[in-house]
Amino acid sequence: MNPYHTVEKLVLSLKEEFEKFYDQKNKSAGTRVRKGMQELKNLAQEIRTEVQNIKNQQEKKTTP
């Protein structure tokens, strides 16, 4: 799956929990939001590493 779609899917899956926490003051939803945000942070780091590796591979191919 395209990394963008993975991030989008994760963010959309948290929408309901954000609403429960911020609008209804549901503390359990806040815990789920924090967990989801940690997953998002980890996913972002994986994507950053992947992008950097791809850039480095492309530079090696173009460098004589």
pLDDT 10s digits, 15-53? 999 999 999 999 999 999 999 999 999 999 999 999 999
**Distance from C-alpha of 53 to C-alpha of 46, rounded to nearest angstrom:** 11
- Which range of residues forms the domain containing residue 30? 3-62
Domain count, the chain: 1
**Distance from C-alpha of 17 to C-alpha of 33, rounded to nearest angstrom:** 6
pTM: predicted TM-score of the whole model, two decimal places: 0.84
Q: Are 33 and 11 in contact (CB under 8 A)?
A: no
Calculate the alpha carbon distances from 11 to 5, 56, 63 in Å.
Answer: 10, 29, 38
